[in-house]
Structures are given as C-alpha cells and as structure tokens.
Amino acid sequence: MIIDCAYYKDGQRSGEGAVPLEEVAARRSEGGFVWLGLFEPGAEELAQVRDAFGLHELAVEDAQSIHLRPKIENYENDVRLVILRTARYDDAEEEVDFGNIAIFVAPTFVITVRQGVASKLHEARQRLEQRPELLAAGSSSALWAILDEVVDDYAPVVAGLERDIDEIEATDFYRAVHPLIAVVAAIERTTAAPELLPYLRDVQDHLLLVDEEVAAQRDLLGTVLQANMAVISVEQTKVGVRQNSTMEQLTVLATIFLPLTFITGFFGQNFAWLVQHISSYTAFIVYGLGGLVVPLALLFWWMRARMPHADTSAAAAEPAGTGHH
C-alpha cells in the first residue's frame, strides 16, 4: 500500500498530498528527487514500482524478505538498497516488536518498503520537510532522516529493556543495533552531500551509545543466566547427594539380609540329604546358625580387608606438606 508519494526540488515539496505513481516517476528527469513510501505492499504493487523506477528484480525480492540484521547492497544505475531493522517496546506486553525498512536510494528517488508496525516514517518525512536546507541536498537527506528516526526509536527500547532486563528480546535487539554501525559508517563514507556529514555523524554517535547500553544489558543478562545455571547445578548436586545416601542405606540393608536370604533359600530346599540329616533341634541349630555365622564372618573379613586399602588411598590423596612435624 502506498502511504505517501511526493516530489521534492530545491528543498521544497511540490504540491499538497500524494502524487500519482506514474506522474511522480516521470518528473524525475526535471531534477530533484521522488520519495515513495510503501507499507507491506503486495507483489503486484511492487511490480508496478519496479517497472516505473527500473529496480533490479533481486533487489525487489530482497526488500520483501524479513531480515534479522541491517545491511547495505549496491545495484546497477547507482541504486543502493539499505535494510534497517526497527524496534518498538510494548509496555503492556513487556516485549519488543520488530519491523523492517528496505530503502532504495538513487540520485533521483528514495523508495521505502516497510514491514511491521514498528516502522513508522511519517515523523521523519515531516521533520525533513521543515529543514529545506537539508532537503536541498537531494535523496541523501531522506536517507539521513530515516536513519535518524530509526536510531532515535531505539532509545525507548533500551529504557524498556532496562526495566525488564530478563526478557530474552535483549539479545534479538542487539542483532538489530550492532550491525547497523557498519551500515551507517558506509553511508557516511559514500554520501555526496558534505552538508549532511555532521548529521550522519550525530546519528552514528547516538547509535554507538545505544550499542554500548545494549551490550552492557546483554552482558548482564548473560551473568544472570550463568548465576541461574549455577543455582540449578547446586540443586542438582544436592539431589544427587541425597540419592547416593539413600542408595548407600539400601545397600547396607541388602548386605545385612543377604546371609539370611541365603539360609532361608538353602533350608527351604526339599531334597533327601537335608531332610534325613536335620532331624533334631541340635542339628537345626548347628546347621542353621552355622550357616548364618559363616557368611557373616566372611562378610566381616572382606570389609576389614577393604578398609586398609581405602585408608591408603585417602592418605595418598592428601597434598604434600599436610603431615605433622
């Protein structure tokens, strides 16, 4: 959808209201430049704009995509495609809304393709129209006004994330801000209007300040996540210790009842020799208690044999210099 379409020459807007697309495209040969603003246009509308302004088909296709990082591309006929990522903090939902602005910049036109609610440019156009000395610099002035609007809109997002630093959108916002530094630097190096250089440097300064604050928030978020992981690790260790203690107690009980289980199983067998030889209380006591005492004695001997080995291992693990003098 076309939001606004205007022709600018000598620092002034020609006429009131939007100008038809065919008319404004034909006036490019008269000097000045055209600023066409589109919001989430359809394929047919973009095809009309492409034919009217001679845009490369790959550039138009790129403008329709949603990008996670800002970038700048050069095409034929001195056309540049600048991709910006816009952001707006939603106080009600406590989250960041993102959008995209694709900007076609040439000496005779500026075409903006906006995607998402967080990409308004009406204020940028109004401010530039109130600065005829900058508007007279040509299409580069419109690019500066858009950059200035996008970077200024980052400040409320930083403030919102400062109040709600645990929101994961802080990391996504960093990807929107940090790559834009290189894009603005490239625009500043290649601008053909010297009078715009101080204003572009001002945008760069604001962007660097936002980038530093977002980087600090990102580091803080990482520290908070690491602390949270440390707490979880401690809790998991405690659970593991409790489980090991429970398993140790169960092992002791199982070890104690192991001889009893053996005796019960042995004397529960119904074969001839056992039936014929255990025919009195004396035989039962001798075989029964003897069968119980012998495994217990062997178990006690085995555990005693293991103790010196454990003590030797513990002593070997002590650091040097801890002995008594």
Question: For residue 272, is it within any domain?
Answer: no
Per-residue pLDDT tens, the chain, 325 aa: give them. 888 889 999 899 887 777 888 888 888 888 889 999 999 998 889 999 999 999 999 999 888 888 888 999 999 889 999 999 998 888 877 788 888 999 999 999 999 999 887 678 889 999 999 999 999 999 999 999 999 999 998 888 888 877 766 545 556 677 778 888 888 888 888 887 888 888 888 888 888 888 888 888 777 777 766 776 777 777 778 777 888 878 877 777 777 677 667 666 666 666 666 666 666 777 767 766 776 777 777 777 877 776 655 455 445 545 444 444 4
Question: For residue 297, is it within any domain?
Answer: no
Question: For residue 276, is it within any domain?
Answer: no
Question: For residue 198, is it within any domain?
Answer: yes
On whether the CB atoms of residues 63 and 102 are closer than 8 A, the answer is: yes
pTM value? 0.58
- State the total domains in the chain: 1
Question: For residue 283, is it within any domain?
Answer: no
Own/partner long-range contacts of 252-258 (Cβ < 8 Å, ≥24 apart) = 255/299, 258/295, 258/299
Question: For residue 247, is it within any domain?
Answer: no
Give the residue numbers spanning the domain of 183: 2-227
Question: CA-CA distance, 205 to 244, in Å (whole number)?
Answer: 58
Strands of the sheet with 71-75, listed across from one edge: 12-13, 2-9, 33-39, 109-115, 95-106, 79-90, 71-75
Question: For residue 279, is it within any domain?
Answer: no
The radius of gyration computed from the CA coordinates of the chain, to the nearest angstrom, equals 40
- Quote the tokens at residue 207: 């962007």
Residue 316: half-sphere exposure toward Cβ, Cα within 13 Å: 6
CATH code at position 170:
3.30.460.20
